[in-house]
């Protein structure tokens, strides 16, 4: 079944490696599954990814991956900055 997805953190790590590490890029082009495990993505996640994601391929330029890394990082930061953190007041007296 191919229903696994990478977490934001995993995707950022992958994009960083694909934008900066020539050796990793070569290994990823040849054996994507092994390369994903190499950067710490659990084997269970890798084997449940869509099989099209695990086929050998020619990658886009490092610059394209750098742009994607920046976009994903900026999107995550923007989302977190909009989050309202709930507060819990223990022992507070007042109306219920």
pLDDT tens digits, 66-78:
999 988 877 665 5
| Size (the chain), residues | 96
pTM: 0.75
Residue 62 counted as domain residue: yes
Report d(CA 14, CA 25) in Å as an integer: 10
Q: Provide the number of structural domains found in the chain.
A: 1
For residue 64, give its domain range. Answer: 8-81
Residue 52 counted as domain residue: yes
Residue 60 counted as domain residue: yes
Percent of the chain surpassing pLDDT 90: 59
């Amino acid at each position: 079944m191919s229903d696994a997805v990478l977490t934001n953190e995993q995707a950022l790590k992958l994009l960083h490696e694909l934008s900066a590490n020539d050796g990793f890029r070569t290994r990823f082009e040849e054996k994507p599954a092994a390369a994903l495990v190499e950067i710490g993505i659990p084997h269970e996640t890798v084997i449940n990814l869509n099989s099209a994601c695990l086929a050998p391929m020619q990658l886009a330029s490092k610059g394209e991956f750098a742009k994607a890394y920046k976009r994903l990082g900026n999107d995550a930061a923007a989302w977190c900055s909009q989050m309202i953190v709930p507060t819990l007041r223990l022992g507070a007296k007042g109306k219920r």
